[in-house]
Amino acid sequence: MNGTALGQENLATALTTLSEEEELFRASVREFAEGEVRPRVEQMEHASKLDGELIKQCFELGLMAIESPEEYGGAGSTIFNAILAIEELARVDASVSVFVDVHNTLVTNAFMKWGSEDLKKKYLTQMATGKVGAYALSEASSGSDAFALKTKAADKGDYWELNGQKLWITNGNEAEIFIVFATIDAEKGYKGITAFIVEKSFEGFSVGKKEDKLGIRASSTTELIFDNCKVPKENVLGEVGKGYKVSIETLNEGRIGIAAQMLGIAQGAYEAALAYTQEREQFGQSINNFQAVQFQLAEMAVEIEAARLLTYNAARLKDAGKSFLKEAAIAKLYTSRVAEKVSSKAIELYGGYGYVKDYPVEKFWRDSKIGAIYEGTSNMQLQTIAKLIMSGK
């Protein structure tokens, strides 16, 4: 169902009304999240590591190849279904959600758009059946200034040689296939950037330290080290010197995935708070009998519904082949704010119990904070939105 093709008066209904296929897909992911992910959340949080069996199940259920074409072992589905999966997983655990998100909306998507037929056949097939993907752009000196890269690639005739470091790489420990951005000529600025496909087994490549993070703790966020790393000539993704296009266009879709993750966090925190206000008693009655509490829950519900509309709208536009850059930026900006606000309010509604790790809402709040940082900070989203508004688009 394509909400973008309907009249304005039906737009909100179209965005949130799912087709039968989408409903069934959402239900299957929710069943997996409740039955398999939720029992493992606490253990994964303490271990700061994803459960290996859970990773295997993500592949077996097709969650790692949602948009990937059928000829490469994927489901050949839509980004809308991908964000439904990301949302439902984040409702239970944001770490599993971002694991699936990065693999689908960044890595698989980049291969689909920029990979040659040989690269698609080789790598998309592997990523549909068991090999995890990671996206390596960030460095110590290039966060929001994404193209101030210091990782260098030198043409050695028969191969490319990469030297440098990457930081804050999601799925760093689990991944076996990496899309790595490096510059072939620093004098050319962003026009010297090229995207390379690096396998974990390549000579000169290693995974460095894992970050000890505030939230999404089970998700591995690591350093990558390239020490005369040899990359085959055919492992350039897209064109030499056009890596900036690969990066920008892939991240635009990735922001819809992060919006879905933040939406799921907000929904999970809200549901936990709603249930607890029915159980918690003060002054001889459940606190949800008090109007002040009812109003807070209502405000949370309003914010979540607005976030859902923005996220679904961006995904529907992408699937319809329409421009979605501004909508993706708005969705990521707004949902990251909603996730933080709703999860913070949930802590307050829990009272003292909200502040301790025996109850779930403090984790939702910690997991929400990254939404304003990765795949483009909130300030960068505001800059994108402002530029598009000023240009009349």
State the pLDDT confidence band at 3, using cuts at 50, 70 and 90.
very low
Encode pLDDT of 276-300 as tens digits: 999 998 899 999 999 999 999 999 9
Q: What is the pLDDT of residue 203?
A: 98
Q: State percent of the chain over pLDDT 70.
A: 96
Q: Is the pLDDT of residue 190 over 80?
A: yes
Q: Is the pLDDT of residue 391 over 60?
A: yes
Encode pLDDT of 122-140 as tens digits: 999 999 999 999 999 999 9
State the pLDDT confidence band at 5, using cuts at 50, 70 and 90.
very low
Distances (CA, A) of 354 to 274, 282, 337: 13, 16, 19
Q: Is the pLDDT of residue 13 over 80?
A: no
Encode pLDDT of 213-230 as tens digits: 999 999 999 999 999 999
CA distance 162 to 336: 35
Q: What is the pLDDT of residue 6?
A: 45
Average pLDDT over residues 377-385: 97
Active site residue 199: no
Encode pLDDT of 32-86 as tens digits: 999 999 999 999 999 999 999 999 999 999 999 999 999 999 999 999 999 999 9
Q: What is the pLDDT of residue 10?
A: 55
Average pLDDT, the chain: 95
The residues that bridge with 166 in the sheet, in sequence order, are: 224
Q: What is the pLDDT of residue 9?
A: 47
The residues that bridge with 231 in the sheet, in sequence order, are: 160
CA distance 157 to 133: 27
Q: Which of 67, 87, 253, 375 is catalytic?
A: 375
Average pLDDT over residues 92-110: 98
Q: What is the pLDDT of residue 151?
A: 97
Q: What is the pLDDT of residue 12?
A: 58
Among 145, 116, 238, 105, residue whose Cα is nearest residue 184: 238
Q: Is the pLDDT of residue 255 over 80?
A: yes
CA distance 38 to 36: 6
Q: What is the pLDDT of residue 14?
A: 64
With a CB cutoff of 8 Å and minimum separation 6, the contacts of 69 are 76, 112, 120, 124
Distances (CA, A) of 282 to 273, 277, 349, 353: 15, 10, 12, 14
Question: How many helical (H) and strand (E) elements, i.e. helices and strands, does the chain have?
Answer: 14, 10
Encode pLDDT of 301-357 as tens digits: 999 999 999 999 999 999 999 999 999 999 999 999 999 999 999 999 999 999 999
Q: What is the pLDDT of residue 143?
A: 75
Among 130, 127, 88, residue whose Cα is nearest residue 106: 127
Q: Is 321 exposed, middle or buried (0-12, 13-18, 19+ CB in 10 A)?
A: exposed
Among 244, 225, 232, residue whose Cα is nearest residue 160: 232
Q: State percent of the chain over pLDDT 90.
A: 91
Q: What is the pLDDT of residue 11?
A: 59
Q: What is the pLDDT of residue 126?
A: 98
Higher pLDDT: 58 or 186? It is: 58
Q: What is the pLDDT of residue 257?
A: 98
For residues 312 and 15, is the Cβ–Cβ distance under 8 A? yes
Coil, helix or strand at residue 174: coil
With a CB cutoff of 8 Å and minimum separation 6, the contacts of 310 are 259, 327, 330, 331, 334, 335
Q: What share of the chain is helix, strand, coil (3-state, %, to 5)?
A: 60, 15, 25
The dihedrals phi and psi of 319, each to the nearest 5 degrees, come to -65, -30
Q: What is the pLDDT of residue 7?
A: 47
User: What DSSP designation does 304 have?
Assistant: H
CA 113 to chain centre: 18
